[in-house]
């Protein structure tokens, strides 16, 4: 199979490219490199550009016999999306519209779409099953939900089949240390805590300790990026075997509080990691835990890394060996 991966130089995209190559698939990458890193690219055909660059997409779909698309390319900062909603709708929704239109034009029938737990907003129940109502609390989640819905309508109209994967909290790095996580600015908990362990930050702020949780800090479901990558591979197989269009949650089904995550990081890094309690971050739900049962039953997916220490150890392997990330790009 030849698979076009948009956003293949980003965090989850680049790990998925590695995994697809390990599985013997042919991969073509399209990435603007606005957020992604040249250093995360593998030795595959690469096109630098935007999804809305129609001649570029025509070139990609004409030069390569693309069987399926795995679509990551998007802006994904919740806070930024609240400040600049139009920018997020433009980049995420219009970008996806352009990509999907070109897929239809070039008769490419399968897409795996990178969605998010942010589509649920404040969930009515935990663990979160896919049938719960979607009610995003920020423009980022809204744009992802809008794309899911756009894809749903494209199946009856154009025969375009899709799998939307709603990620919970992606974490960790390639266990072999080839690539890892590098965001600028960094806003995710585990990399921030590891930056404290590296002495790059003085302390980590715990955003709120008065939530309705056992220790008062927010609970999240941390899923290894390689397990996410494997779910994309299985979703592609599902579509190829004439599976139906579906939405799946991807998490391990277990939650860890911010305080627990910091404690695990202290243990793994053997560093003190000072932490202070800070005000709540706007829009953070108290608890997000996935029910991954549907993906397990229908895709045959089984997360391999269910021990948070191991997930953090892989992240630490990357961060301690690459304290400045893909510094050559910067």
The residue ranges that bind ligand UFG (CB under 6 A) are 76, 78, 116-118, 140, 169, 187-189, 192, 204-207, 218, 220, 258, 281, 284, 288
Pick 94 or 278: Cβ nearer ligand UFG: 278
Alpha carbons 251 and 271: distance in angstroms, whole number = 28
The DSSP secondary-structure symbol of 67 reads -
Task: Estimate the crossing angle of helix 225-240 against helix 11-22, to 10 degrees.
Answer: 60
Pick 29 or 204: Cβ nearer ligand UFG: 204
Residue 21 C-beta: closest distance to ligand UFG, Å = 25
68-71 vs 2-6, strand pairing mode: parallel
Alpha carbons 156 and 39: distance in angstroms, whole number = 40
Q: What share of the chain is helix, strand, coil (3-state, %, to 5)?
A: 40, 20, 40
How many CA atoms within 13 Å lie on the side-chain side of 270? 1
Pick 9 or 117: Cβ nearer ligand UFG: 117
Q: Which of 47, 120, 140, 167 is catalytic?
A: 140
Q: Residue 234: which residues within 8 A CB-CB, separation 6 or more?
A: 299, 300, 301
Residue 4 C-beta: closest distance to ligand UFG, Å = 22
Pick 116 or 161: Cβ nearer ligand UFG: 116
Pick 66 or 78: Cβ nearer ligand UFG: 78
Other CB atoms closer than 10 Å to residue 202's CB: what's the count? 8
Residue 256 C-beta: closest distance to ligand UFG, Å = 9
Sole residue written with tokens 């930056």: 195
Whether 140 is a known active-site residue: answer: yes
Q: How far is CA 318 from CA 93, 139, 220, 307, 330, in A?
A: 32, 31, 22, 18, 17
Pick 162 or 169: Cβ nearer ligand UFG: 169
Q: Residue 107: which residues within 8 A CB-CB, separation 6 or more?
A: none
Residue 212 C-beta: closest distance to ligand UFG, Å = 13
161-167 vs 26-31, strand pairing mode: unpaired
Residue 169 C-beta: closest distance to ligand UFG, Å = 5
Alpha carbons 67 and 107: distance in angstroms, whole number = 9
Q: Find the residue with minimal CB distance to ligand UFG.
A: 218
Residue 244 C-beta: closest distance to ligand UFG, Å = 26
Q: Mind telling me the catalytic residues? A: 140
């Amino acid at each position: 199979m030849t698979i076009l991966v948009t956003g293949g130089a980003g965090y989850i995209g680049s790990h998925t490219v590695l995994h697809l190559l390990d599985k013997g698939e042919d991969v073509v990458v399209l990435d603007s490199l606005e957020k992604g890193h040249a250093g995360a690219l593998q030795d595959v055909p690469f096109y630098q550009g935007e999804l809305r660059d129609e001649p570029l997409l025509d070139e990609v779909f004409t030069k390569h016999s693309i069987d399926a698309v795995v679509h990551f390319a998007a802006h994904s900062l919740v806070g930024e999306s609240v400040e600049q909603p139009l920018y997020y709708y433009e980049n995420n929704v219009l970008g996806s519209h352009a990509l999907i239109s070109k897929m239809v034009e070039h008769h490419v029938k399968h897409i795996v779409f990178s969605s998010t737990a942010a589509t649920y907003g404040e969930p009515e129940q935990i663990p979160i099953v896919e049938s719960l109502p979607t009610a995003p609390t920020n423009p980022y989640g809204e744009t992802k939900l809008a794309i899911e819905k756009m894809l749903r309508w494209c199946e009856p109209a154009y025969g375009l089949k899709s799998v939307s994967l709603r990620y919970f909290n992606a974490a960790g790095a390639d266990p072999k240390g080839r690539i890892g996580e590098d965001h600028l600015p960094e806003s995710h908990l585990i990399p921030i805590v590891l930056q404290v362990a590296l002495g790059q930050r003085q302390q980590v702020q715990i955003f709120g300790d008065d939530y309705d949780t056992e220790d008062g800090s927010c609970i999240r479901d941390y899923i290894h990026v390689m397990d996410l990558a494997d779910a994309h591979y299985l979703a592609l197989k599902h579509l190829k075997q004439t599976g139906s269009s579906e939405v799946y949650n991807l998490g391990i089904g277990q939650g860890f509080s911010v305080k627990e995550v910091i404690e695990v990081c202290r243990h793994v890094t053997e560093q003190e990691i000072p932490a202070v309690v800070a005000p709540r971050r706007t829009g953070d739900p108290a608890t997000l835990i996935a029910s991954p049962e549907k993906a397990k039953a229908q895709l045959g997916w089984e997360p391999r890394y269910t021990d948070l220490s191991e997930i953090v150890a892989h992240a630490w392997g990357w961060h301690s060996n690459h304290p400045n990330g893909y510094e050559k790009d910067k």
